[in-house]
């Protein structure tokens, strides 16, 4: 089956000499839900910009459902939907017009565009606001407007560049449900986000980009399996004055009742508890310092520095 996205040796050097992409290879299967992760300035938005013809590439090849974005630009673009990181609509235009016009740019006749816009706006809870200017919407609503706009031409590959940035938890969760539903209906999704728990809970695959290179990609479960260390936070009952020695584990005393301990995933936790018990340390609670994907992400990003 043709891949939804194939990127080969993609490079981008900006006019000021900054090399944003240093030869990226990426493959996304049809129907997948993939997270593209990376720190600020890693090259995520440049990659997305090139896929969507908003940024000119320096070299390399990009294919969308087997169609080359240089040679079959119009056909490739018809398959793509983009929700960019920053608001990019005319804030003075009515909400409904923004979505209808977007359908028009894809050649969808106005009557059908009006019907599709109605469906998209209702699905995203913007129907009541359709007549007002886009500037009157809240931040979360503006993000949902961009999602409605990106879906109106029914793309096969939807790219969401930090869609939940700056929205409250309730709206974020409803957007997660919405994205999952869109993916289940057959749409391939590429998501960039800084919320790694979002990537871990939504996506089965992940690609991590840093300094213009893909440093890791694969199934989330497999990548997490590669983590050899995990960091736990322990809350203890009695105050401590210094970090206890617990074998060869790295231990830090965060405050008098909080310990941070790095533990190899190969070694059982029982051993650690035995050492704590021997020292008279009573543990009241414990938790992961970060979620596992976050830990892997930090590990990879720090390694490539």
CB neighbours of residue 226 within 10 Å: 12
Numbers of helices and strands, H then E, in the chain: 10, 14
Q: Spell out, one character per residue from 42 to 71, where the chain touches another protein: x when CB under 8 A holds, - when not.
A: -------x--xxxxx---------------
When asked if residue 90 is in the footprint of another protein (CB under 8 A), the reply is yes
Q: Where are the alpha helices (DSSP H) in 64-109?
A: 73-78, 95-105
- Closest listed residue to residue 96, CA positions, set 114, 83, 111: 114
CA–CA distance, 179 with 187 (Å, rounded to integer): 9
Segment near another protein (CB under 8 A); pick from 25-33, 73-81, 124-132, 170-178: 73-81
Minimum distance, C-beta of residue 214 to another protein, in the bound complex (Å): 21
Measured CA to CA in angstroms, residue 244 lies from 77, 118, 183, 258 at distances of 59, 63, 49, 11
List 149, 206, 209, 216, residue binding another protein (CB under 8 A)? 149
When asked if residue 105 is in the footprint of another protein (CB under 8 A), the reply is yes
Residues 6+ apart with CB under 8 A from 151: 81, 120, 158, 182
When asked if residue 74 is in the footprint of another protein (CB under 8 A), the reply is yes
Which residue number, 88 or 221, has a Cβ lying nearer to another protein? Answer: 88
When asked if residue 80 is in the footprint of another protein (CB under 8 A), the reply is yes
List 34, 69, 78, 141, residue binding another protein (CB under 8 A)? 78
DSSP letter assigned to residue 289: S
Minimum distance, C-beta of residue 194 to another protein, in the bound complex (Å): 21
Segment near another protein (CB under 8 A); pick from 102-110, 185-193, 198-206, 292-300: 102-110
- Closest listed residue to residue 155, CA positions, set 102, 96, 82: 82
List 41, 59, 110, 181, residue binding another protein (CB under 8 A)? 110
Question: For binding to another protein (CB under 8 A), which residues are involved?
Answer: 14-15, 49, 52-56, 73-75, 77-78, 80, 82, 84, 86-91, 93, 97-98, 101-102, 104-110, 149
């Amino acid at each position: 089956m043709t891949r939804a996205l194939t990127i080969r040796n993609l490079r981008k050097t900006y006019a000021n000499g900054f090399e944003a992409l240093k030869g990226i290879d990426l493959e996304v299967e049809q129907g997948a839900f993939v997270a593209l992760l990376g720190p600020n300035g890693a090259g995520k938005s440049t990659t997305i910009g090139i896929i969507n013809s908003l940024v000119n590439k320096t070299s390399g090849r990009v294919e969308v459902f087997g169609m080359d974005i240089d040679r079959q630009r119009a056909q490739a673009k018809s398959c793509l939907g983009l929700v960019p990181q920053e608001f990019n609509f005319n804030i003075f235009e009515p909400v409904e017009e923004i979505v209808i016009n977007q359908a028009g740019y894809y050649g969808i006749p106005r009557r059908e565009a009006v019907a599709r816009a109605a469906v998209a706006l209702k699905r995203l809870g913007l129907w009541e606001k359709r007549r007002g200017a886009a500037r009157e919407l809240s931040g979360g609503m503006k993000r949902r407007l961009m999602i409605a706009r990106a879906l109106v031409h029914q793309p096969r590959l939807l790219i969401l560049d930090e869609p939940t940035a700056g929205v409250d938890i309730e709206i974020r969760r409803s957007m997660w449900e919405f994205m999952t539903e869109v993916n289940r209906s057959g749409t391939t999704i590429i998501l960039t986000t800084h919320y790694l728990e979002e990537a871990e809970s939504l996506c089965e695959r992940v690609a991590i980009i840093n300094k213009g290179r893909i440093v890791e990609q694969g199934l989330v479960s497999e990548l997490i399996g590669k983590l050899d260390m995990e960091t736990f936070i322990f809350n203890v009952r009695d105050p401590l004055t210094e970090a206890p020695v617990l074998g060869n584990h790295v231990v830090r005393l965060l405050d008098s009742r909080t310990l941070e301990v790095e533990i190899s995933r190969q070694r059982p936790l029982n051993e650690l508890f035995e050492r704590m018990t021997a020292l008279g340390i009573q543990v009241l609670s414990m938790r992961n310092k970060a979620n596992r994907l976050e830990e892997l992400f930090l590990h990879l990003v720090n390694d490539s520095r």
